[in-house]
Amino acid sequence: MAKQINVALIGNPNTGKTSVFNRLTGLNQQVGNYPGITVEKKQGICKLPRGVKAHILDLPGTYSLNASSLDENVVIELLLNKNDKDFPDVAVVVTDVENLKRNLLLFTQIKDLGIPTILAINMADRMKRKAISLDVEQLEQRLETKVALISSRKNDGFENLKELIIAHKTLSTKPSLNASVIAPEYFDRLRKAFPNQDLYKLWLVITQDVNFGKLDRKEMKGVASFQTESTSNLKRLQQKETIARYQFINGVLKETLTIDTANAKDLRSRLDRVLMHKIWGYVIFFAILLLIFQAIFDWSSYPMDFIDSSFASFSEWTKNNLPAGDFTNLISEGIIPGLGGIVIFIPQIAFLFFFISILEESGYMSRVVFLMDRVMRRFGLSGKSVVPLIAGTACAIPAIMATRNIENWKERLITILVTPFTTCSARLPVYLIIIALVIPEQKVLGIISLQALTLMFMYLLGFGAAIFSAWALDKVLKIRSKTFFVVEMPNYKLPLFKNVGITVLEKTKSFVFGAGKIILAISIILWVLASYGPGDFNKASEIVQQQNISTNISEEEIETQIASFKLENSYIGHVGKFIEPAVRPLGYDWKIGIALVSSFAAREVFVGTLATIYSVGSDEEETIKNRMAAEVNPILGTPLFNFASGVSLLLFYAFAMQCMSTLAIVKRETNSWKWPMWQLVVMTVIAYVVALGAYQWLK
């Protein structure tokens, strides 16, 4: 079999690099992580003509090879390490025809590494409308490369690009800029010390604070000690390098690119005027948020009800049709309700990522960053914190990873610390089920449902808690770091359905297989703990029958009594009773206590746990919601899930830090256990106190 061609897709953010990747690989792609770090690694296989295959790696977007974040480090580390198995045979630099000048900076840097490089100019379909004309032949000559004009929107030019990839061996590897023009004397010295090395590579090793592949490090040995220049001098040289590159690019584009500026008044300025208006801008932003929440509550309730009842009848079916015994019980009472607890989240997660990816793809998110920066800064955050805070409504883990582009460390740390307050999708099922139980189904003003309003309030509460604690942290934390902020305002684009679809699919999949595993494992463990017990557990039926020997009650009622006696005396019952004193003041019984404790693995376990606990020993087909509604407080004799205990539970989940994966990611991103431990303790204490206060006040 012929060797696959290794292709690396490289480009600035907002050039449509991911669309190009999606076009090349279709659904033939996989998303993972680079070993040891949380940077997303996207790769896929692309079939080229004549039976050749290419392995496509979609590298994180970067503006240059001067790395300033973890994501960007990945790019240079790969490009400097010839021994990496992903080291590209050919690099495809994706650029946007409207931002060619800026995008070419990265191109010239890649070219100078001596890697065969293709220049893919994306969004070529816009050229006519924008009155842009390009002398491709001349451009190829001046840059010593091959150019592919493509449009990922119209699916144009990809055949040509594929042919260029096949012919990668014919590409010139001549650098476009002689690095020594930056500082002739300094580079002369470098050349003498390392006669066999590529000068630009040396320069990158000297100026970048990153790890290089094992073997290359040996080759480069001694380079670090060659830092005869001071840091500020190196910085000055980097500035000179950038200026030299732009001079070269300006020269090239002057000969090859013409833009008729008469057509400059375009969609951008017209949309900006409305979307970034000092009043309408905010009104529109909040209207969009409201729409998202209404959609998540209203639209997803239909598939969710369907999933809930399907799993209930499936569980019932297995019970009736499989041979009776422990194994059947494990399936019908442990595994199926556990699986149901995973699948039921899919509609909401899909909706949420659908909206978030539309906001990002369209270019609107940058406008929100711009509008919110001044406001957020009052609370020690950055305008860029808006993205993690919104993404946090899906899941805190990608949200915390999204803080990487916040330049200021203090603002970034505060964002990381407060993001878990935002209402993540794992809290959503807990909220939904409790709201459905304790908030009446009424309409306010005839149209807006009271339940949807309550949900909206919970989201606002999450944001409020995040903002308030950010403000408090800003006052408490003594970190001095340079304030700096730059955000690109990309062109508005109609989101590509394919990109949105792939994002939704990818995120849902990773939820089902990632969080799903934990939920399923916990469901099974809980079932075992609830189905077995010490001492009295095994004599349950004798004891219950003994108690009822003189009373005249039906067989059925005795069965129910036996079941609840068993549950109380099972292992989980003992654990539950042990923690009950701690949760009773909040209005919960020991079963909720168990659900609360297991939620510390992941919040979404709550509903599944209750489903498992309530279904153990029950014979009837019931949905999770009906089972919860039927639970009675043993002391008061009122429904267990009433207004006071419901509100208390909602508040507990709003504030508590119940997610091991988030703690792990915070540890990784802040490089210390101090901050995740701080989050765990402070957030949980807040949650307990607030829930306690609410219950005692409302009961």
Q: What count of other Cβ atoms lies within 10 Å of the Cβ of residue 318?
A: 16
Find tokens 């508005």 and name the residue.
Answer: 492
Binding to other proteins (CB under 8 A) within 375-394 occurs at 383
5-44: contacts with other proteins (CB under 8 A): none
d(CA 321, CA 172): 69
Task: Determine which residue in the list 41, 130, 191, 236 makes contact with other proteins, applying CB under 8 A.
Answer: 236
Q: Which stretch binds other proteins (CB under 8 A): 83-91, 432-440, 470-478, 481-489?
A: 481-489
Question: Residue 488: phi, psi to the nearest 5?
Answer: -80, 140
Interacting residues with other proteins between 239 and 278 (CB under 8 A): 239, 242-243, 246, 268-269, 272, 276, 278
323 labelled as ligand-binding?
Answer: no
Q: Is 489 in the site for other proteins (CB under 8 A)?
A: yes
Please say whether the dihedral angle defined by the alpha carbons of residues 576, 582, 585 and 586, taken in this order, is positive or negative. negative
276: annotated binding-site residue? no
Q: Is 105 in the site for other proteins (CB under 8 A)?
A: yes
Kindly report the three-state secondary structure assignment for every residue of 88-141: CCEEEEEEEHHHHHHHHHHHHHHHHCCCCEEEEEECHHHCCCCCEEECHHHHHH
Least distance to other proteins, CB of residue 97, Å: 12
Choose between 375 and 681: whose C-beta lies nearer to other proteins: 375
Q: Which residue has the tokens 């590579």?
A: 201
CB of 146 to other proteins, least distance (A): 25
120 assigned binding-site residue: no
Contacts to other proteins from residues 63-92, by CB under 8 A: 63-64, 66, 68
Q: Least distance (Å) from other proteins to the CB of residue 481? A: 12
Q: Which stretch binds other proteins (CB under 8 A): 175-183, 187-195, 238-246, 649-657?
A: 238-246
143 and 118 Cβ atoms separated by less than 8 Å: no
**Residue 89 and residue 168 in contact, taking contact as beta carbons nearer than 8 Å:** yes
Q: With binding defined as CB under 8 A, does residue 101 bind other proteins?
A: yes
User: How far is residue 627 CA from its own chain's centroid?
Assistant: 33
Taking the least distance from each CB to other proteins, the nearer of 63 and 600 is 63
Asked if 490 interacts with other proteins (CB under 8 A), we say yes
Applying CB under 8 A, which of residues 99, 301, 618, 626 lies at the interface with other proteins?
A: 99
587, HSE (Cβ side, Cα atoms, 13 Å):
27
User: Using CB under 8 A, which of 48, 124, 344, 371 touches other proteins?
Assistant: 371
Binding mask 432-471 for other proteins (x = CB under 8 A): ----------------------------------------
Chosen residue from 374, 475, 478, 480 binding other proteins by CB under 8 A: 374
- Map tokens 């949309």 to a residue: 271
| 53-58 sheet: strands from edge to edge | 29-33, 40-47, 53-58, 5-11, 90-96, 117-122, 146-149
Count of residues interacting with other proteins (CB under 8 A): 38
Structure tokens at 557: 């009622």
Q: Which residue has the tokens 């590494």?
A: 113
Q: Can you read off the two tokens belonging to residue 534?
A: 């010490």
DSSP annotation of 492: P
* Least Cβ distance, residue 110 to other proteins (angstroms): 14
Kindly state the smallest distance separating residue 102's Cβ from other proteins, in Å: 5
Q: Which two tokens stand for residue 477?
A: 């934390």
The terminus-to-terminus CA distance of the chain in angstroms comes to: 73
| Residue 6 marked ligand-binding | no
In the complex, what is the shortest distance from the CB of residue 371 to other proteins, in angstroms, rounded to a whole number? 6
Residue 402 tokens read as 């999204």
Strand-pair category, 40-47 with 29-33: antiparallel
Q: Tell me which residues touch other proteins (CB under 8 A).
A: 63-64, 66, 68, 99, 101-102, 105, 232, 235-236, 238-239, 242-243, 246, 268-269, 272, 276, 278, 281, 366, 369-371, 373-374, 383, 407, 483-490
Which positions make up the binding site for Mg(2+)? 22, 25-26
Residue positions forming the annotated binding site: 11-18, 22, 25-26, 36-40, 58-61, 122-125
Residue positions in the annotated binding site for GTP?
Answer: 11-18, 36-40, 58-61, 122-125
